[in-house]
Structures are given as structure tokens and as C-alpha cells.
Amino acid sequence: MKSFSIAKSRRLRGTPYTSRIEKQGVTAYTIYNHMLLPAAFGSIEDSYHHLKQYVQIWDVAAERQVEISGKDSAKLVQLMTCRDLSKSKDGRCYYCPIIDDNAGLINDPVVLRLNENKWWVSLADSDVILFAKGLAIGNKFDVKIFEPDVDIMAIQGPKSFELMEKVFGDKIVNLKFFGFDYFEFGGDKHLIARSGWSKQGGYEIYVEHNVSGLKLYDHLFEIGKEFNIKPGCPNLIERIESGLLSYGNDIDNGDNPYECRFDKYVNIDSEVNFLGKEKLKKIKSEGIKKKLMGVMFDIDKISITGSLDLSDQDNNIIGELRSACYSPHFKKVIGIAMMKKSHWNIDQNVKASINGDICSGKVCDLPFI
Ligand code: THG
């Protein structure tokens, strides 16, 4: 496949870490929230093996925050998500589907409750700030909404725990999954959460106003030498094997939370008020007609840049492959597909045109691992 470079401009924002990762050998970018998000440092398969064994630092500043504060902030955040946040606690992160009045997904952010009147919505790739402002204006909510100057650096991989303990002390090892707290480095406090877009374990450092961010970045690489630290980025293979969904790729505004298997983040029976609640009740009672499933093909490479039709033996379209990669673990191509109800059962045969050949594959459950 021919590749093209990205023409940078003010509209495609860099991050405070761009200067570092370009020295360290970033080889591909994607665009996420109008910002550069590194997509590769050389071979994605080599990075995958490294991530599963050691520790990596990722420039994920493109996971932008929408800060919502003020008297009505909890009401607004709840209005945007079908997950019941009425019992949420300060210092915790919540994975929250954001939906519209038609129950179509707008985003799948991590929501951080800093306190009852201050929230960060840590975004996947869509302009939630405009949606939030529209809702606040329409409802005359007393809130302040803006994009704070926060640039996340993720520390991911099994060695991230030892590395972070060395840099921030043993308190950080006790942080529970999806909990966050403040930790000091170089005289500055950083919000650090035990989270990240891999299943290899790790942390995310929300660097504010880029206070000592680059110093911390360099320090982590210095201390991380003994753990074979490398720069990295969200890894296509690792995230597909782990079933971590990518908004805009696997799921979008044409899908509802049930179709995306977000059932455990949907609370239609609670008292809370959110957009799309009535529609979700209707969908639940009628049942969904498509669902995200895994698919596997007994081939050793694939590169998809859009949707790929999946068909049955009679060439009827029965699903849409949305992301895929070669998995070194399964020694097969694996992918995430939106399957029609008639063909979403495990072991269902599917056909697709891949690398110029008609390949046959099978539907399987998610996550793969
Ligand atoms: N970290 C932060 N912001 C983000 C992401 C992140 N914003 C964009 C994107 N990633 C949002 N998408 C996800 C998807 C999955 C998870 C986090 C963000 C995730 N899921 C866990 C799982 O599936 O096991 C746990 C979810 C739960 O049950 O609470 O971590 O990565 N800051």
C-alpha cells in the first residue's frame, strides 16, 4: 500500500511530547480529536511483543478532556451518559457511553469525578465539547465547559508498576483499577490514574499546563532503562485481542450501546435522567438486530482502511468487518465485526475478499483473550 505523509498545520495540533517522540522514531500518526496521535514506532508486531513484556510510554495527549464544572455539572454529565453515576465517587474513573436522543453513540469516554462539581470527560475521537455546550445552553444549566490544558502520558505494560513505584513511591502500587490520586514529581502534583488503553496494566498521567511534563517524560525513560522501556502508542494488535473498542472504527453514531455490548454500562431502570433513555427502553424491549462480534480468518495478513463486507455462502451481506489485524497469539487474522442477527452466532461461517482472495472465516466471541 502506498503511504502519504500528513501535512501538519495549526488545525492538526501537535502535543507537548511531539518533539520527543519524533526524536524517538515515531513512524506513523493518526488524527484524533484534531490532534496527532502516534500510531506506530516501526513494526506494530514488535511493539506488541514489547508491550506484553516490558513497559512503554505513550503520548496519548489526543485523549482530550472536557472539563465540566459548576452547580449543575453532575446533572449535565448524567444527561449525556446512560451509565448511572448517582453513586459515583470522587477519585474514580468511569467508562461511560455518551449517547444522543436516538441512543446513537456519540463517544465512549472515561469520566473522572474530581469532585461533585468538577468532572473531566476523557474523550475518544468526537467533538463532545460542542454537544455538551449545546445541552447546557438548551437546558440553562449553571456550568462552565472548556477544554483544559491537560496532556495524558500513558505508562503501559507489566513493568509499569515497578517503574512507577520507583518514581512516585509505593503508594502508587496500591491505586485500584480506575482509581486516581495525586502524586508529586519535581515539586508539581500530577493526577495519575490506574488505567490505559491496553490490558497489560499501567497508569495514565494527566499532565496539567505541561508542568514538568517533559522533565517527567525524560525521567521515566532514564529510570525505565532497567525495565527495557520504549516509546509506544495504542497498539492495534493488543487492543483487538483485548477487545478494547475504538470509537469511529468499531463503533459510531449509527450504533446503540446494546449493539456495542455495553449492557453493563446501561442503567435504564434507575431514576437518573439521561438523553435517549426512552429510546433505549424501546430498543431493549424490541431486541437488537445487529451486534459486535469477533471474527477469525485462517490467513496471515490483513490491512483494512475502511469497512469490509462479510457475506454468507450465497453472497448476501451479513456483517461488516470494522477493524482487523494478524494476531501472533492466535496465528490467524482476527477482527471486530458488526454482525446481523441472523448470522451473529459463534462458529457462523463468513466470507470476505481479503488481499484479493475470497477467504472464509468464523464468528467468535469478544474479547478474544
Ligand atoms: N484513557 C483515557 N481516555 C480515553 C481512553 C483511555 N479516551 C478515549 C478512549 N480511551 C476511550 N475508550 C476506552 C475504552 C476502554 C477503556 C477505556 C477507554 C477501558 N476499559 C476497561 C475494559 O474494557 O476492561 C474497563 C472498563 C470498566 O469496566 O470500567 O479501560 O484509555 N484517559
Each residue's pLDDT tens digit, 125-144: 999 999 999 999 999 999 99
Give this prediction's pTM: 0.97
Find out whether the beta carbon of 122 lies less than 6 Å from any atom of ligand 1: yes
pLDDT (mean) for 40-48: 98
What is the per-residue pLDDT for 319? 98
Confidence grade of residue 159 (pLDDT, cut at 50, 70, 90): very high
Surface-to-core class of residue 271, CB atoms within 10 Å of its CB (0-12 exposed, 13-18 middle, 19+ buried): exposed
What is the per-residue pLDDT for 185? 94
71: CB partners within 8 A, 6+ apart = 117, 142, 143
User: Whose Cα sits closest to atom 28 in ligand 1?
Assistant: 95
Q: What is the mean pLDDT of the chain?
A: 97
pLDDT (mean) for 35-46: 98
What is the per-residue pLDDT for 4? 87
Round to whole Å and give the CA distance between 175 and 24.
30
User: Does the pLDDT at position 37 exceed 80?
Assistant: yes
Question: In the beta sheet, which residues pair with residue 358?
Answer: 353
Round to whole Å and give the CA distance between 325 and 301.
7
Residue 146, C-alpha cell as written in the block: 472548556
Residue 22, C-alpha cell as written in the block: 519524533
pLDDT (mean) for 276-289: 98
Backbone angles phi, psi at 133, to 5 degrees: -65, -40
From the CA of 196, give the closest atom in ligand 1: 31
What is the per-residue pLDDT for 2? 79
User: Does the pLDDT at position 345 exceed 80?
Assistant: yes
Backbone angles phi, psi at 352, to 5 degrees: -150, 155
Query: What domains are defined for the chain?
Result: 18-63+150-240 (3.30.1360.120), 289-369 (2.40.30.110)
What is the per-residue pLDDT for 3? 82
Q: Is 163 helix (H, G, I), strand (E, B) or coil?
A: helix
User: Does the pLDDT at position 357 exceed 80?
Assistant: yes
Round to whole Å and give the CA distance between 346 and 145.
44
What is the per-residue pLDDT for 245? 98
User: Does the pLDDT at position 36 exceed 80?
Assistant: yes
From the CA of 107, give the closest atom in ligand 1: 11
Residue 139: count of CB within 10 angstroms of its CB: 13
What is the per-residue pLDDT for 210? 78
In the sheet with 65-69, reading across from the earlier edge strand, the strands are 92-95, 110-115, 118-122, 65-69, 144-146
**CB–CB of 201/156 below 8 Å?**
yes
User: Does the pLDDT at position 212 exceed 90?
Assistant: no
Find out whether the beta carbon of 123 lies less than 6 Å from any atom of ligand 1: yes
Mutate to test the pocket of ligand 1, among 197, 264, 265 (most ligand atoms within 8 A of CB): 197
Ligand 1 centroid to Cα of residue 109, in Å, is 7
Find out whether the beta carbon of 125 lies less than 6 Å from any atom of ligand 1: no
Residues of the chain with pLDDT > 90, as a percent, come to 96
What is the per-residue pLDDT for 352? 98
| Unique residue bearing C-alpha cell 449543575 | 72
User: Does the pLDDT at position 1 exceed 80?
Assistant: no
What is the per-residue pLDDT for 85? 98
**CB–CB of 60/197 below 8 Å?**
yes
pLDDT (mean) for 195-224: 95
**Closest by CA position to 109, among listed 141, 147, 139, 135:** 147
**CB–CB of 178/195 below 8 Å?**
yes
